[in-house]
Amino acid sequence: YKAEFAEAGGALKTPVKDGKEFGGWYYTSDFSEEKVTTATKGAVLYAKWIDLAKSDLKIDLSKSKLKNSSSGSSSIKYDTNSGELNLSAKLWSGKKGAIDAVGSTSKWCDEIVLMYADGTLAKLESGKKYAVTLNYKFVDNNNNSSEGHLPQIAIGYDSTANASSTSAGNFYVAAVKNHAKAEAGSSYYLTAEITGKDKPLRIGSSGLWNCVINSILLQEIDADAENQVTVVYCDEGEYKAEFAEAGGALKTPVKEGKKFVGWYSASDFSGAKVTTASADVVVYAKWINPIEGDLNEDGVADIRDLVMLKEAAINQDTDMKYDLDGDSKPATEDDLLFLKKLLLGITV
C-alpha cells in the first residue's frame, strides 16, 4: 500500500509500470464495479495493470502503410488530432468485388500494413488464436457513380512466403464486408477470429470510396477456451468489441459528465437491459446527464423517485444509489428528507 495527498474531487494520478499498461483505479481488489476517477477522503483504491505481453496487442494506426496490389491511386493519411486513419480507396480490378469470400486469397485488393506501437510488424504468431475487431466509418462514395464499384473492407493476413512489410498480392481473407452506396455516412464494425501462421495482419480494401478507420483491436485468446465470445458495443455510433466469458457480466463503461444507465439490444433502448455476455450480439450504451435525485433514471427527479426511495427504505435496500445525503447509509429517513427538500426546491 502507498498513499499520496490529493485535492478532494481532483483527478487521480496515472501511474507507470515497466511492461504494463495502467487499467484504472477501483474500490474493490477484484476490479469489479466502476472505475474511480476522482480523489475522495479516506478511500483505499486498487490499481489494475494489464500485461501487454498477454493481453490486448496495441496497434498504432499512425504507422500504417498502404500497399497497392493492383492499378489504382488509393491513399491513406493519419489524422493526429482525431487518431483516425483516413483511406481514400480508388482501386478497381475490373470485376465486381476484388475481395472474394472468407477463406479465399485476393491478389487485387489494397492492403494496409499494420504495425505495433514500437514500430514492429503486427504478425500473427503460429499456433496462437487471435480475435480482431475493426471499427470504421463509411464516409462517402469518393465520386463513385456506379453501384458496380462495390466498396469492400476485409480483415486478413499476407500469405506470401516470407511475408514482410513490403510484400503484397496474396491477401488471405478472414472476414469481409461488402457495402452498397446507400450505406455511406454510417459507422460499422468487422470481426474475425484467426489462427496465426506467422504472417502479417492486414486490412484489405477494394472499390471506390472514402472511409475512416477509428480503431483496430487485436487480442490473443485462449485457443482451448470454449466459453469466450465477442461482444460488440455501440456507443453513440462508434463500435468497439471485447472478448468476454459467455454468461459473464458485461463491462460498465465510464464517461466524463455522464451517468451510464445500461446496455440494450435495441438502438432506441427499448426492452429490458442486457446484463450478460453472449456471442454475436451488438449492445448499445445508454447515457444520461446525471440529475440529483433521479433514482429511476428517467431524466427528471420527481414524486416517482420519492415513492421509489420509500419502498427502498421499507425493504432496507442497501444499494448505494439510495444514499442521497452522502453518509454511506442508503435508504434512511435522512435520505427521504434530503429528497423531499430537493423536490420542494429547498437548498440541501
Q: Are 330 and 308 in contact (CB under 8 A)?
A: no
Query: Which of 205, 221, 237 is the endpoint of a domain?
Result: 221
Residues 207, 64 share a domain: yes
Q: Residue 15: inside a domain, yes or no? A: yes
Residues 234, 107 share a domain: no
Residues 207, 144 share a domain: yes
Residues 65, 13 share a domain: no
The x, y and z cell numbers of residue 24, run together, are 484504472
Give the pLDDT score at 210.
94
- DSSP result, 176-245: EEE--GGGTT-EEEEEEEEE--SEEEEEEEEEEEEEEEEEEEEEEE-TT-SSEEEEEEEETTEEEEEEEE
pLDDT (mean) for 237-243: 78
Give the pLDDT score at 85.
95
pLDDT (mean) for 181-210: 91
465486381: which residue's cell? 96
pLDDT tens for residues 54-87? Answer: 445 689 999 999 998 666 688 999 998 888 999 9
Q: How far apart are CA 100 and CA 83, in angstroms?
A: 30
Q: Residue 122: inside a domain, yes or no? A: yes
Q: How far apart are CA 263 and CA 301, in angstroms?
A: 22
Q: Kindly give the interhelix angle for 333-344 and 303-314, rounded to the nearest 10 degrees.
A: 180
Is the pLDDT confidence value at 43 over 70? Answer: yes
Q: Residue 295: inside a domain, yes or no? A: no
Cβ atoms < 10 Å from Cβ of 52: 14
The three-point CA angle 19-23-26 to 5° equals 135
Q: Bridge partners of 195? A: 129
- Which CA distances in Å does 302 have to 173, 308, 348? 55, 10, 16
Q: Residue 297: inside a domain, yes or no? A: no
Q: Which domain holds residue 140?
A: 57-221
Q: Are 114 and 202 in contact (CB under 8 A)?
A: yes
Q: Residue 209: inside a domain, yes or no? A: yes
Is the pLDDT confidence value at 96 over 60? Answer: no
The number of distinct structural domains making up the chain is 4
Residues 280, 233 share a domain: yes
Q: Are 97 and 152 in contact (CB under 8 A)?
A: yes
pLDDT tens for residues 120-160? Answer: 889 898 888 888 989 899 999 988 877 667 899 999 999 98
What is the DSSP-derived secondary structure letter of residue 338?
H
Residues 69, 38 share a domain: no
Q: Residue 298: inside a domain, yes or no? A: no
Q: pLDDT grade, residue 93 (50/70/90)?
A: low
Q: Residue 191: inside a domain, yes or no? A: yes
Give the pLDDT score at 70.
64
Contacts of 251 (CB under 8 A, 6+ apart): 242, 244
CATH of the domain at 286: 2.60.40.4270
CATH of the domain at 78: 2.60.120.260
Top-confidence range, 143-152, 188-197, 278-287:
188-197
Query: Which of 202, 221, 240 is the endpoint of a domain?
Result: 221
Give the pLDDT score at 54.
44
For the chain, percent of residues with pLDDT exceeding 90: 29
Residues 164, 273 share a domain: no
Q: Report the Cα 129 to chain-centroid distance in Å.
A: 20
Residues 132, 61 share a domain: yes
Residues 182, 328 share a domain: no
Q: Residue 116: inside a domain, yes or no? A: yes
The residue among 252, 246, 210 whose CA lies nearest residue 233 is 252
Residues 204, 122 share a domain: yes
Residues 327, 202 share a domain: no
- Which CA distances in Å does 204 have to 57, 65, 74, 123, 155? 20, 12, 12, 15, 6
DSSP alpha helix (H) spans, the chain: 303-314, 333-344
Q: Report the Cα 149 to chain-centroid distance in Å.
A: 30
pLDDT (mean) for 241-257: 82
The x, y and z cell numbers of residue 194, run together, are 484467426
Query: Which of 13, 31, 52 is the endpoint of a domain?
Result: 52
Residues 195, 175 share a domain: yes
Contacts of 307 (CB under 8 A, 6+ apart): none
- Which CA distances in Å does 121 have to 37, 159, 213, 286? 34, 14, 18, 37
